[in-house]
Structure 1
Amino acid sequence: MMSRLVIGVFAALTVPTVTAAPLEAQGLAPQVSTTVVVNEVAPSGPAGEKDEFLELRNISTAPVSLTGFTLRFSGPTCALTTVLALPAGLVLQPANAAGQYLVVTGQDFAGTIYDQTNVLSFVGPDLMRADVGAVALFDPTGRRVDAVGWAAPFRSACPQEGPPARTPPPSLGLSLSRNYLSWDTDNNRNDFNPTPRTPGAQWPEPLARPETGLPR
């Protein structure tokens, strides 16, 4: 069953005046996630800045409820720019099962989502800066579950885990992805690499042909 929801501006808390690093970006020791990870991010795409998406994946062997979880986006100065509250009742299925992903798309997203079980379409401002930025997943208690920061060479992002992932040139239309097993070592530079965009699937290739749903 596909769950496709539209998150409008009303569902986002925009905080443009924050100038210091938020508390979740300060002094936190990295902690490897064993449940849900930020698995792939594309801060922009061929259709522009809002042709963006991020993908969460359940890497555990049991379903995980995302009720009460939030996604928090930060800009180049560590300013917290947008908070998205994930809808109640959203459940990610175990790894390697249909429904293991949540794909959040930007307003101008253009592309194929391979597993469309859980898709949230955000209508509003640009969620992620292409040159430098970060997104973090928080559980209902306020604990940071996972985070990824990306930046061009000689720049930094926060929150991040270890050195930031390196932003690929926007003209290439690539995303930043974990490897096929979604390894999380809490080092964004090592864990994420530029790859073709595969929302709702694992790189190096999608698990099924989108036109048929059959395995490759």
Structure 2
Amino acid sequence: MRRILGASAVFAMLAIGMAGGVANAAGESEGTEVAPLVSSTVVVNEVSTRGVNGQLDEFIELRNISSQPQDISGYLVRIYSPSGILTDTIVMPAGTILQPKFTAGQYAVLVGQNFSGTISDQTNVIPFTLAGVDGIPTTGGVTVQNLAGTKLDGVGFSNAVLPAREGQAATPESAATDQLNASNSRNILSTDTDNNRQDFSLQLRSAGQ
């Protein structure tokens, strides 16, 4: 079960983030996408863009939220800059099959080169190295696309990341959250309303869990 960060810790790190200009800045558009399509198969379930080991202490967790196995061989996980420019693409290896929700193997955990922490379900652990020195940008975004090039899901950490953002942007991580071992994660049911601010919250890292 995921453990939500204590209220005092969350308020403290949000205050620090706002002071440093990391949190949503005044004047950004809070618009939502037109006619969003809620994901029913594979979602971006958890993302950490940084950690105690620096900018490359990162991971992306995909989850099968359906009742049927999902073969995601060849699916694309795309990384976007804070301005919404595509910077990197990770291709899922052949034979990557996510098992049904609530069973072993339901996750794929993509880990950066300086990843710290543990992975509970190690059925599908996929190392990656990104071209940018910062890896996944703290105020960038992540999407997953199927073989037809259809975007299945995405999360943006600033409102300018239009290709990844759904609804309002999720709260980005910061130097304060590094020390709290935090990540952006959905709830235990992986609820998807196509509003990143509502669906994601800063919680303790729980890769493959």
Taking structure 2 as the reference length, what is the TM-score of the superposition? 0.78
What 5-or-longer segments of structure 2 have no aligned partner? 1-32
Matched, 1:161 2:169: no
Measured after TM superposition, the shift of residue 147 of structure 1 is 0.5
Distance (whole Å) between structure 2 residues aligned to residue 144 and residue 48 of structure 1: 29
Aligned-CA RMSD value? 1.4
In structure 1, the residue matched to 2:52 is: 46
Matched, 1:179 2:187: yes
Amino acid paired to 1:175 = S
CA deviation vs aligned residue, 1:133-166 (integer Å, no higher than 9, x gap) = 1111100011110010013xxx532221001101
In structure 1, the residue matched to 2:205 is: 197
In structure 2, the residue matched to 1:72 is: 78
Measured after TM superposition, the shift of residue 88 of structure 1 is 1.3
Distance (whole Å) between structure 2 residues aligned to residue 181 and residue 136 of structure 1: 19
CA deviation vs aligned residue, 1:29-84 (integer Å, no higher than 9, x gap) = 42101111000000001110000001000011110000221011110111100011
In structure 2, the residue matched to 1:88 is: 94
In structure 2, the residue matched to 1:55 is: 61
In structure 2, the residue matched to 1:143 is: 150
Distance (whole Å) between structure 2 residues aligned to residue 186 and residue 169 of structure 1: 23
Measured after TM superposition, the shift of residue 28 of structure 1 is 6.4
Measured after TM superposition, the shift of residue 170 of structure 1 is 2.8
Q: Percent identity?
A: 46
Taking structure 1 as the reference length, what is the TM-score of the superposition? 0.76
Measured after TM superposition, the shift of residue 168 of structure 1 is 3.3
SS of structure 2 residue aligned to 1:117: coil
Distance (whole Å) between structure 1 residues aligned to residue 196 and residue 157 of structure 2: 8
Q: Which structure has the highest strand share of the two?
A: 1
Q: How many residues align?
A: 171
Q: Which structure has the highest helix share of the two?
A: 2
What 5-or-longer segments of structure 1 have no aligned partner? 1-26, 202-216
Amino acid paired to 2:83 = T
In structure 2, the residue matched to 1:133 is: 140
SS of structure 2 residue aligned to 1:84: strand
